[in-house]
Amino acid sequence: MSAADFSRGPTVVSAGPSNETSDKGNRIRHLGSFDAEAMEAWSPDQILTWAIGKYHPRLTLSASFGAPEGMVLLDMMHRIEPTSRVFVLDTGRLHQATHDLIDRVRDRYDKTIEVIFPDADAVQGLVREKGMNAFYESLELRKLCCRIRKVEPMRRHLEAFDAYVTGLRRDQNVTRVDTPKVELDVGNGGLVKINPIADWTHEQVMDYVGEHRVPTNRLHAEGYPSVGCAPCSRAIGPGDDPRAGRWWWESEDTKECGLHVPDEQQGGLGI
């Protein structure tokens, strides 16, 4: 269900009965109803308190450890519920700085970080057939790499959950301007997808980081506002768009890995 569906559809959204299926045949869990429109006025703390009360421990935070948004949400969730859960996708191509941050966060919060890896056979097949850096060659191959290393592992991991939290913000990219605060993620089996800071600015995120001394990726101080895989991230210059360093060889309207693009979640590449 897209943001547009929420804006023009009924206010109260229901995940439906447990025998309802998506296009991929995934069972949509019976998760009750929520007032998506009313939640647009809720603060991040209100949304997270509701989500944790309703779904924990079958609620998790999806954090890349390469953007301050995920760290802010991890801190917020930990303050509400110290046993709140978080996972990170280790694609096999992450920066060392990202691995270092994972350990820093684990130690700071005394929290288990669930590190999720791609299927080794799928990665081996991709590299054997297409080469180590095929993602530079075409949009199709870049999205294939993202699908194998990120989309499919996340889908498998989320099968054990009823809801998950993301750090998506509407001003991050043209592909995210309609992000609702709460939605149904049909591409991942009908989970509730929660984006508590969708209406925050980057300045609000960094104000929270400073106020609460939230640990962040050290590459931010080296010109990387957004840190993904090492071959697909680079530092940017003053005045550049914050996501200009991600997949810099592509146009702005294709700069998504597929985790938050329904067409790509449901199979295929969305192209």
Give the CATH number, domain containing residue 19.
Answer: 3.40.50.620
Q: Is residue 191 a part of any domain in this protein? A: yes
Domain that holds residue 171: 3-218
Q: Is residue 226 a part of any domain in this protein? A: no
- In the chain, how many domains are there? 1
Q: Is residue 84 a part of any domain in this protein? A: yes
Task: State the catalytic residues.
Answer: 257
Percent share of the chain, pLDDT over 90: 70
The pTM score is 0.81
DSSP type of residue 232 = G
Residue 103 CA to residue 249 CA, distance in Å, equals 31
Residue 222 CA to residue 266 CA, distance in Å, equals 36
Q: Under 8 Å CB-to-CB from 2, ≥6 apart: which residues?
A: 178, 262
For β-strands 182-185 and 191-194, DSSP reports them as antiparallel
Q: Is residue 197 a part of any domain in this protein? A: yes
Whole-angstrom distance between the N-terminal and C-terminal Cα of the chain? 18
Who has greater pLDDT, 266 or 271?
A: 266
Over residues 67-113, the pLDDT tens digits come to 999 999 999 999 999 999 999 999 999 999 999 999 999 999 999 99
For the record, the structure tokens of 269 come out as: 């590449």
Over residues 211-268, the pLDDT tens digits come to 999 999 999 999 999 999 999 999 999 888 887 888 887 866 554 554 545 544 443 3
Who has greater pLDDT, 27 or 253?
A: 253
Give the pLDDT band (50/70/90) at residue 174: confident
For the record, the structure tokens of 145 come out as: 């790499």
Q: Is residue 245 a part of any domain in this protein? A: no
Q: Is residue 149 a part of any domain in this protein? A: yes
pLDDT for the residue 173: 77
H-helix or E-strand containing 33? strand 33-35
Cis peptide upstream of residue 57 (ω within 30 degrees of 0): yes
Of 145, 134, 129, 138, the closest CA to residue 91 belongs to 145
Q: Is residue 92 a part of any domain in this protein? A: yes
Residue 270 CA to residue 115 CA, distance in Å, equals 27
Where are the strands (E) in 204-247, listed by range? none
Residue 192 CA to residue 184 CA, distance in Å, equals 5
Ramachandran quadrant class, 233 (left: phi over 0; alpha: psi -120 to 50; beta: rest): beta
Mean pLDDT of the region 173-183:
89
Upper half-sphere CA count for residue 206 (Cβ side, 13 Å)? 7
How many Cβ atoms are within 10 Å of 164's Cβ, its own excluded?
A: 24
* Contact status, residue 253 vs residue 174, Cβ threshold 8 Å: yes
Residue 23 CA to residue 39 CA, distance in Å, equals 27
pLDDT for the residue 1: 32
> Rounded to whole angstroms, what are the CA distances from 206 to 181, 188, 210?
20, 30, 6
For the record, the structure tokens of 261 come out as: 């693009």
Residue 44 CA to residue 266 CA, distance in Å, equals 28
Query: What's the alpha-carbon Rg for the chain, to the nearest Å?
Result: 18
